[in-house]
Amino acid sequence: MKNKNRILENAKLTILAESEAIANLVNFLNDDFKNAVNFIHNSKGRVIVTGIGKSAHIASKIVATFNSTGTPAIFMHAADAIHGDLGIIQKNDVVICISKSGNTPEIKVLVPLIKNYGNKIIAITGNTQSFLGINAHFTISSYVKKEACPNNLAPTTSTTAQVVIGDALAVCLLELNNFSSNDFAKYHPGGALGKKLYLRVRDLIEKNEIPQVILTTPIKDVIIEISKKRLGCTAVIENNKIVGIITDGDLRRMLKNNSDISYLIAKDIMSKKPKTIKVDAMAIKALETMENNNITQILVEKDSNYVGVVHLHDLLKEGIF
């Protein structure tokens, strides 16, 4: 029971310990970091990221971040490297080697081999005076005073520090490469993130019905059109230009305020100047417009002509909302 009562306290201590250690990393940034970034940026090869143990897992994550932000990278496990995988490294590649101690046996074997090939080594290590720190061409400190583990054994704060250094490298390279949101979309075509960056309104409406009535359409036919097209609204058009919109809400208000609807036409109940969006606009823009105006549909235009409706359900279906 005593341990259970300490759960939140331990969680807070862990987060605070790691956040303090991460904040302290800025004090270790020096010319080696800057020169390492510039060297990668000017390199004609790829970035090979290697490590062993928990550092290998961090290396794999850094590779993923590099690749998704425009810096080609490959993961190479340090143990596998000295048993045949050194062939991964090509002439112009840059090697980032990650190790908390910088003195593990595999690192001591690997570093001289890489240097013999003529490749530059960037060290991310918690001990800049270690074998790795001294023998690397660029040494970046990921020093942490203490692990979050109460026994100061399990890699916790140290691996978080390694991730942060990797993120800092990736972001600096991203800036130097002028990597834009459009570039990001090319590398993230799948999932909700990718769709936010490349999906356009025209993609959302291509399978939708196109509900429309004219100003003089009887209310009975308006109701039929809205029900038939199943988008919760219809555009009111004149010469294919949007002049209004009638929604389910407009119909409910009409029924509430009129006992006899037989004489009503579309013009009598439509909302004028409805929100519209261009067919080539980004889908995320449609969502922002809906949220800002508390609506669930937007009429779509192409060259000032009415071409369809985007419904909130379309965005939900694509996972954007």
Give the pLDDT confidence of 227-257 residue by residue, as tens digits.
999 999 999 999 999 999 999 999 999 998 8
User: Is residue 216 marked as binding?
Assistant: yes
In whole angstroms, what is the distance from residue 60 CA to residue 49 CA? 7
Mean of pLDDT values over 100-128: 95
What fold, for 201-317? CBS-domain (3.10.580)
Sheet of 276-278: strand order equals 276-278, 297-302, 305-311
Q: Where are the alpha helices (DSSP H) in the chain?
A: 2-5, 7-24, 31-42, 54-68, 78-81, 105-116, 131-135, 157-176, 181-187, 191-198, 201-205, 219-229, 248-257, 266-269, 283-293, 312-317
Residues carrying CATH 3.10.580.10, the chain: 201-317
Query: How much is the pLDDT for 187?
Result: 66
What pTM was estimated for this model as a whole?
Answer: 0.69
The tens digit of pLDDT for each residue in 128-175 reads 999 999 999 999 999 999 999 888 888 999 999 999 999 999 999 999
The tens digit of pLDDT for each residue in 281-290 reads 998 899 999 9
Q: What is the separation of C-alpha 247 from the centre of its chain, rounded to a whole number of angstroms?
A: 35
Query: How much is the pLDDT for 277?
Result: 96
Kindly indicate whether the domain formed by 2-179 is annotated with CATH number 3.40.50.10490.
Answer: yes
Q: Is the dihedral of CA 41, 47, 50, 56 positive or negative?
A: positive
User: Is residue 188 marked as binding?
Assistant: no
Residues carrying CATH 3.40.50.10490, the chain: 2-179
In whole angstroms, what is the distance from residue 46 CA to residue 67 CA? 10
- 186 pLDDT band, cuts 50/70/90, is low
Q: Which two tokens stand for residue 107?
A: 């690192």
Mean of pLDDT values over 267-288: 93
Identify the helix (H) or strand (E) that includes residue 120.
Answer: none
Query: Which of 43-57, 163-177, 182-196, 227-241 bottoms out in mean pLDDT, i.e. has the lowest?
Result: 182-196
Q: What is the separation of C-alpha 204 from the centre of its chain, rounded to a whole number of angstroms?
A: 21
- 6 pLDDT band, cuts 50/70/90, is confident
User: Is residue 57 marked as binding?
Assistant: no
User: Is residue 268 marked as binding?
Assistant: yes
